[in-house]
């Protein structure tokens, strides 16, 4: 908390506030008022975030923004009740004198703050848990973060702990809720190293995800207000090379190709959300590219993490006659050629990307987006059993629904067979293969048996990518997912799938 700064601490306060705004740890600036040139590797956390924590009401939001930051009257009313219970418990737990201080120092939990001290009573702990969990549920996974909500609630409660005016207390509760909502709709631009794309020309933009060169993005920053805060220099790893005087910009080195991801949500969730959006975008691009370079990730290849450098296999393996260790190979990458650039620029590519990243609730596009994310997780996993589970999760995202009358395995087997062939004999063979693979999945999930061979994992990847190869080319992704499942169910009676796109 930086409301009260000792004399001469103005520069320190400004530096700490600025460091927080771009995601740096304040401990690197605290304790010194002049900054000598130093180099830091940011704890292998390959991220740089430009954050605007002002309310976003009435402002344009990035493509992945949803209505999660909004609450209806009933939800807000419930949070106000829970916040009132919490503030009351907080006021009861406030330390009043020396005797209380001596007692709480021997108790299991307490908090010291510039505005006082609080004992962690059972009532206080439960009230805070109830408030943070319910607020996170209402805000959703992207915009709700329990840790951030708890910090906001605690700060507001400290400010109200000695207040006796009921009107001021009520206003303070409203302010607590408003602060939570504002935090949940923070506009964030995440910049991450891109080790997955080789750019031969222009940028690649897919929904809220953009791949660009660090040099190009730095030139853009110089023309924006954020350019006064950050300078980007191409380099091998994410470092910041200089602590400037307050008011000057930080200089960062970052991989020559970078991701720029637009997010609306809690800053504490930004890295996770950016990674998911990149995964969806990469899977979408992978299934639509008209040509594949020599390093294009093949079936069974372990795709590198999009933020971090590729690491070779490590370890020494001994047998009675030999010793071996690791291997050296070029990591798989996606080369963005001029032909791929032209494909990305087509109206159909953009329209379906929009239907996925700005999906209507319960639409086919929403489920495809979820499946694309799990496909990427499967490609990135080095463990066969993990890959197997991720690929099945992707398939289930698009081919199942809340139908209790039919077993999941039968639905998946029939719907996948209908999509991939019109030949009834071929459908029966494919459905039988999927049922066999699903039995391996059940043994893994319910029995903990990790005995998945590479042939099974690779076969499932091929089936999953074949399904999504058709889906990302399907028109009208905004229609209900339920109607898509009905369409597949009708075709299981020996009819052709009427929705098959023209390839």
DSSP per residue over 219-273, as a string? HHHHTSGGGGTEEEEE-SS-EEEE-PPTTSPEEEEE-SEEEEEEEEE-GGGHHHH
Q: What is the DSSP letter of 296?
A: P
The pTM for the full model equals 0.83
> In the prediction, which pLDDT does 328 show?
66
pLDDT tens for the 503 residues of the chain, in order: 222 223 333 332 333 333 333 333 333 333 222 222 222 233 334 556 665 543 332 223 333 433 445 688 999 999 999 999 999 999 988 877 666 666 666 666 777 666 677 778 889 999 999 999 999 999 999 999 999 999 999 999 999 988 889 999 999 999 999 999 999 999 999 999 999 999 988 899 999 999 999 999 999 999 988 777 888 999 987 787 666 777 778 888 999 999 999 999 999 999 999 999 999 999 999 999 988 888 999 999 999 999 988 766 667 777 777 666 666 678 899 999 999 999 999 999 999 999 999 999 999 999 999 999 999 999 999 999 999 999 999 999 999 987 766 789 999 999 999 999 999 999 999 999 999 999 999 999 999 999 999 999 999 999 999 999 999 999 899 999 999 999 999 999 989 998 889 87
> In the prediction, which pLDDT does 41 show?
30
> In the prediction, which pLDDT does 53 show?
44
> In the prediction, which pLDDT does 220 show?
93
Distance, CA of 113 to CA of 366 (rounded, Å): 44
> In the prediction, which pLDDT does 245 show?
74
Count CB neighbours of 202 within 10 A.
15
Q: What residues pair up with 190 in beta bridges, in sequence order?
A: 49, 261
Sign of CA dihedral 222, 228, 229, 233: positive
- Helices 364-380 and 270-288: angle between axes, nearest 10 degrees: 90
* Cα–Cα nearest to 244, from 226, 228, 233: 228
> In the prediction, which pLDDT does 316 show?
74
């Amino acid at each position: 908390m930086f409301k009260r700064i000792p004399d001469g601490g103005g520069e320190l306060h400004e530096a700490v506030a600025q460091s927080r705004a771009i995601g740096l740890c304040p401990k690197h600036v605290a304790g010194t008022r002049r900054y000598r040139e130093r180099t830091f590797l940011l704890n292998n956390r390959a991220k740089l975030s430009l954050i605007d924590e002002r309310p976003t009401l009435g402002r344009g939001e990035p493509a992945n923004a949803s209505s999660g930051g909004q609450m209806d009257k009933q939800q807000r009313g419930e949070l106000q009740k829970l916040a009132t219970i919490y503030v009351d418990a907080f006021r009861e737990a406030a330390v009043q004198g020396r005797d209380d201080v001596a007692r709480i120092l021997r108790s299991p939990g307490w908090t010291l703050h510039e505005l006082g001290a609080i004992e962690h009573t059972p009532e206080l702990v439960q009230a805070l848990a109830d408030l943070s969990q319910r607020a996170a549920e209402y805000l959703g996974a992207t915009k709700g973060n329990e840790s951030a909500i708890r910090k906001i609630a605690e700060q507001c409660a400290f400010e109200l702990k000695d207040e006796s005016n009921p009107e001021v207390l009520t206003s303070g509760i409203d302010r607590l809720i408003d602060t939570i909502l504002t935090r949940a709709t923070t506009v964030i631009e995440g910049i991450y190293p891109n080790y997955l794309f080789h750019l031969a020309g222009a940028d690649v933009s897919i929904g809220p995800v953009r791949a660009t060169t660090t040099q190009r993005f730095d030139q853009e920053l110089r023309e924006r207000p954020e350019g006064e805060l950050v300078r980007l220099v191409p380099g091998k790893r994410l470092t910041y090379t200089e602590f400037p005087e307050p008011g000057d910009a930080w200089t960062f080195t970052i991989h020559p190709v970078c991701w720029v991801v637009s997010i609306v949500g809690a800053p504490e969730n930004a890295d996770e959300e950016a990674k998911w959006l990149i995964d969806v975008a990469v899977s979408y691009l992978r299934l639509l590219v008209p040509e594949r370079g020599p390093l294009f990730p093949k079936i069974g290849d372990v795709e590198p993490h999009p933020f971090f450098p590729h690491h070779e296999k490590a370890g020494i393996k001994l047998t009675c006659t030999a010793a071996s260790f690791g291997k050296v190979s070029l990591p798989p990458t996606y080369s963005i050629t001029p032909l791929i650039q032209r494909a990305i620029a087509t109206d159909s590519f953009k329209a379906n990307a929009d239907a996925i990243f700005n999906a209507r609730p319960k639409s086919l596009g929403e489920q495809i987006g979820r499946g694309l994310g799990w496909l990427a997780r499967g490609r990135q996993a080095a463990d066969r059993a993990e890959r197997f589970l991720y690929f099945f999760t992707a398939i289930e995202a698009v081919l199942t629904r809340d139908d209790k009358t039919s077993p999941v395995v039968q639905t998946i087997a029939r719907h996948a067979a209908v999509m991939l062939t019109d030949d009834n004999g071929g459908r029966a063979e494919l459905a039988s293969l999927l049922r066999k693979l699903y039995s391996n999945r059940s043994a893994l999930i319910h029995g903990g048996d990790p005995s998945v061979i590479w042939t099974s994992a690779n076969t499932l990847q091929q089936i999953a990518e074949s399904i999504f190869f058709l889906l990302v080319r399907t028109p009208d992704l905004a229609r209900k997912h339920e109607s898509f499942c009905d369409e597949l169910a009708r075709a299981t009676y020996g009819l052709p799938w009427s929705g098959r796109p023209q390839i």
